[in-house]
């Protein structure tokens, strides 16, 4: 009886450890042209530019949308967020719904299409510092973050990296 309980516990913990170690940045599919799909499989057609998104967001708090843009930065720790270049030294941070999938940590400079919810939100100092740390910024740069930011952010259900 003791042996079967120990065996069951061993199996339970092994399964728990293995499922916790899944690489969430691996694509769910790879397209004909080498593009990778992450999270919910989406289509690239109909995606707005970030300039169009900013214009359509005027007067709105949030909006379901599909957008495309150049990847400026990616979380160096896990690939659990990325920023898309909006131009004029502005970016839009993209996180992934329910922490359910990530993107490759080496996709800076590539193009992305994301589908989900764009929203205007306040990002706390603590969160901004966490993102800066994930990005690999120096402690001096992290310490300069002293104010929360009201910014355009995006929570994606799916992403295509090209």
For the chain, 162 residues long, the average pLDDT of each consecutive 10-residue run is 45 41 66 89 94 92 96 90 91 93 92 96 91 88 93 95 94
Q: Which domains does the chain have, with CATH numbers?
A: 24-161 (2.40.50)
SS3 state of residue 10: helix
Q: Give the pLDDT score at 115.
A: 97
pTM as predicted = 0.79
Q: Give the pLDDT score at 7.
A: 43
Q: Give the pLDDT score at 22.
A: 53
Is residue 85 within 8 Å of residue 91, measured between CB atoms? Answer: yes
Q: Give the pLDDT score at 20.
A: 44
What is the phi/psi pair of residue 23, to 5°?
-80, 105
Q: What share of the chain is helix, strand, coil (3-state, %, to 5)?
A: 30, 40, 35
Q: Give the pLDDT score at 30.
A: 83
CA distance 102 to 70: 17
SS3 state of residue 136: coil
């Amino acid at each position: 009886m003791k042996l079967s309980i120990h065996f069951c516990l061993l199996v339970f913990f092994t399964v728990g450890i293995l499922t916790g170690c899944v690489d969430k940045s691996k694509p769910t599919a790879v397209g004909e042209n080498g593009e990778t799909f992450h999270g919910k499989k989406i289509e690239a057609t109909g995606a707005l530019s970030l300039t169009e998104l900013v214009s359509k967001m005027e007067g709105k708090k949030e909006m379901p949308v599909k957008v495309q843009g150049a990847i400026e930065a990616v979380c160096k720790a896990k690939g659990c967020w990325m920023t898309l270049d909006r131009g004029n030294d502005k970016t839009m941070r993209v996180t992934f719904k329910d922490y359910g999938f990530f993107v490759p940590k080496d996709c800076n400079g590539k193009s992305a299409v994301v589908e989900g919810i764009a929203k205007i939100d306040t990002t706390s100092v603590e969160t901004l510092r966490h993102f800066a740390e994930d990005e690999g910024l120096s402690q001096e740069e992290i310490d300069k973050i002293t104010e929360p930011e009201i910014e355009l952010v995006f929570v994606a259900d799916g992403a295509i990296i090209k």
